[in-house]
Structure formats: structure tokens, C-alpha cells
Amino acid sequence: MKIIYMTLLIICGITDSRSEQYNVVGPTDPVLAVAGEDVILPCYIKPNSSAVDMRVEWFRLDLQDSVVHLYQEHKDTNTYQSQSYRGRTQLFKQELQRGNTSLKLSTVQLSDEGLYKCFIQSESWHDDITVNVTFEAVGSPPLITIDGFDHSGGVHLQCESKGWSLEPELVWLDREGVTLKSEATDTHRDTDGFRVKHTITVYNSDSKYHCRVKLRHHMLETEIITSSKMLNSLRLFVIWTSVAVVFSVIAVILIAALIHKHRDLNREKMKNQEEHSRLLQRQKIIVPYVFTLFRKHAVTVTLNPDSAHPRLTVSDDGKQVRDGNTRSTEVNDREKEQSDTFDEYLAVLGKEGFSSGCFYFEVQVTGQTDWFLGVIRESINRKGFYYLNPENGYWTVQMRYGEYWACDSQHDSLSLSVEPQRVGVFVDYEGGLVSFYDVEDRSHIYSFTGQSFTEKLYPVVGLGYYQNVNSAPLIICNDF
């Protein structure tokens, strides 16, 4: 009888150990960290299981005494945390119950580059993954200068950007977005990183040109608007500068002829004047660039209540949405599964879809503290929990827990100087571009580049996941 009892205990133990089959998963590719910014080191339990009661430890594999962050017994225990990480690490406590044990590392520095281990342990199970963090330096915004004129009336425009950790791609575009061929290119690497410089000659006196520099998911762009009035003023400046230089040279020559005893001195003065003349002729006139607005591609967006989560209330005119603070009980589970509404994310789509060209719309987010917005693919999944990233058909930015995020493959943290009150969304379907802008601050927020669209894209706005206690609405803006 005892043997049978012990056998049953062993079988139960094996059954229990097999019932808890979890894996720790994370990124297969290196995580790119930008100097001075924040970075998220992804780490998840699959299938989703709460990590609230587990031990979560982050440490470096390539350093001694390298405790990065330790969570155990329901609290952070960082007594033995490495000094260089003090005050710079954070777990997302509200996400632990979903198995999200990702680590936020603030104010990234070069010494943070290396191999990180995410170790998770419960009473009967443990697993870990390794995350490779590589350092990436983003260069300066492209600077456009006028580098002179040619004899046929063309204007030499030069664009330069420097300080990149890897060699970026720099291109010139006309006002239609067509790539222009650079006539002179220069790429150089020094102690500060890569510097790229491209020059083109333009003959259209009333036009607009863009200089764009890209590296992976980073894109910086500067615009110059040329006009006949501006170019004529610049030509007059160069002409009068040349005349002044000529008179200066003549004056030096006359003085040299009259004062023979100071011949050597006067020759030196003439040489200096001639050098000054060359410097004046070569000087570069920096032209301030204008913030790019896309309102000429503005479209009318009307929210579709048939796609809205049951909690949401859409205004009669289809321009506002807010959380209704009650979950619908009138729709049974089978109808929910068959309907086109969202059942977990508090989201709603625009009625109109777009499958070509460019389009632009603006959303007011004032007062709301949990939101996301952008565009989605027509065939996306609207049921359950999933990540709002391009792989799942979402191109969005969001505000959550008081921070701003670009919902890209790596869920990038955004460092914004001011809180956006009104966000503009610009899409170039054929160009594979989705860009977000702070309308009031006239600043760029984030861009998804190099995308490939094959289905209709629909505007989407959302108030977070499952519920939103903030009563402020998201508003589609048409007052521009």
C-alpha cells in the first residue's frame, strides 16, 4: 500500500511540473540603444502568466558584480545593484501580471552596451534569455547651405549631417518626393562618427527641396524653399561682395605703387586682401529651413461606431470618442466573435480607407493620459491582446503611464520636449512612410520608414487597453 501511495505522489509531482510549461522569450536581434535616451529591454513569459509572485533578475553576463535589477517578494530589492545602474532601471509593475518583465533603462550611456540576462524563477520553474544591447549614435539634423552659383544660373545646394555611429543614407528629394542625383558626395569618419555631405545644383527658382538622412528606423529631414526674390538677393549680395573685393584689391595696388619704400609690406597686404576675397566668395549663407506641413493632403476622417469597442461612445458627427465607463452586456460571446468591433483594445476606426497616394489628418489629445493613434491594415485582428506594431498591421504612437512610445518592433521610448496637444498623421502609401508630428510645437515625433503596404489603411484612435478612467475625448480636427 505504501508503494502505491509513493507512486501516486511521484506521478502527481510529474503532472504538476508538466502543467507549468512556460518559456521566457525576448528579441532575437540586438536591441539598439541611443546615447542619452531611454531603451526597453524586452522579456516576456509565454504563454502569458503573472510574474507578480516570481523572482525577476536582470544582470550583465560580460561584467563582474553586475546586478542590473532585482525584483523578489513583490518588491524591488536593489541592495547589491551595480553602482552604474542606480536610479536608472525600472520594471513595468502593472505589466507583471501579464508576464511582461521587460526592463526600462534610462539615459543610456556607452558603458551600457553588452549582454544582459533576464532570469525568471517561481517555486517550481525557472528560465532565462539573453538580450544583446548595442550602442547607436544618432547624428545631427541635416544642414542645408547655399554653396554658390554657376554661370548658367544654377544654385549649388549642399546638405551635411555628422555624428552618426554607422554610415547613414543621405538623399535629396524634390517637392514631389522624387530622389535627385547628387553631383558631389563626401563621406568621412572621425572620432565623432560618420559625416556625410551631398551637393546638388537646382535651376528652378520657385520650388521646394528636402534633404533626408536615414539610419535604420531613425530619419531626420530638412527643407529649403527657394524663391526668385531670395535667389536674386543672394546673387546681388555676391555681386556687391565681389565689387567690394575688387575695389579693395585696386586700392592695395595703388598704395603699393605710390609707396615704394613699403613695397614688401604692401605686397603682403595685397595677398591678405586677395585671400579675404576668396573667403568672401566661398562663404556659405545658411538658410533657415521651414517646418514641413502636410495639410495639403488633408482628408476628412469620420469615426465608424460599428468598429468601436462596446465601452466607447462615438459622437453623432463621428468626430469625438470617449470611454463610456460601462461594459456592454447586450452582445453575447458568439456575436462578439463574429462582429468587427474591438473587444480588448478601446479602439475605433475611421470609415474611410486609403490604398494609394498621400493623406493627412489631425487628432486632439488634450487632457487624455492613455491613448494611441495612427493607421492600421484593413485585415488586422481586432480580438484579444496583441502588440500594436507593424508586424500585426499597426503603425501607431501612444501615451501610457505618463510616457510616450512609438509602437515599432522594439516599442521605442520617445523623448519629447513638450507634451503634444494635437498630433498630425501623414501617410505616403507608395513611399512606405507613416510620420507623426506635434502640430502646435511644429516638431517631428516619429516616422515609420521603408514600410510595404498592400491593403487599405484606415485611421485608428484608441483609449488604451480594457478600460480608461479619464473622461477627456479624442477629437478628429477639421479646423485647418
Residue 254 has pLDDT above 80, yes or no: no
In this structure, which topology does domain 23-136 adopt according to CATH?
Immunoglobulin-like (2.60.40)
Determine the pLDDT at residue 139.
80
Residue 410 has pLDDT above 90, yes or no: no
Instruction: Compute the average pLDDT of residues 278-296.
Output: 43
* Top mean-pLDDT range of 236-245, 287-296, 424-433: 424-433
Cell numbers that stand for 12 in this block: 502527481
* Top mean-pLDDT range of 158-167, 201-210, 222-231, 445-454: 445-454
Residue 239 has pLDDT above 50, yes or no: no
Question: What does the alpha-carbon distance between residue 377 and residue 349 come to, in Å, rounded to a whole number?
Answer: 11
Residue 277 has pLDDT above 60, yes or no: no
* 464 half-sphere exposure, CB direction, 13 A CA radius: 20
In this structure, which topology does domain 144-226 adopt according to CATH?
Immunoglobulin-like (2.60.40)
Using omega within 30 degrees of 0 as the cis cutoff, is the peptide bond preceding 168 cis? no
Beta bridge partners of 364: 422, 475
Q: From 467, 434, 468, 466, select the one nearest 449 (Cα to Cα).
A: 434
The dihedral over CA atoms of 71, 75, 77, 81, expressed in degrees to the nearest 10, equals 60
Q: At what angle do helices 228-258 and 263-282 cross, to 10 degrees?
A: 170
Q: From 335, 432, 414, 345, select the one nearest 385 (Cα to Cα).
A: 345
Determine the pLDDT at residue 260.
56
- Please report, rounded to a whole number, the percentage of residues in the chain having pLDDT higher than 70: 77
* Higher pLDDT among residues 161 and 264, named by residue: 161
Determine the pLDDT at residue 204.
67
Could you give the C-alpha distances from 84 to 132, 135, 166, 174, in angstroms and in order? 18, 16, 26, 47
Q: What is the pTM of this model?
A: 0.42
φ/ψ (deg, to 5) at 228: -60, -40
- Spell out the residues 6+ positions from residue 167 whose beta carbon is closer than 8 angstroms to its own: 187, 189, 194, 196
Could you give the C-alpha distances from 126 to 10, 102, 129, in angstroms and in order? 20, 16, 11
CATH 2.60.120.920, domain 295-477, yes or no: yes
pLDDT in tens, 325-356: 665 444 444 444 446 788 889 999 999 999 99
Instruction: Compute the average pLDDT of residues 232-251.
Output: 52
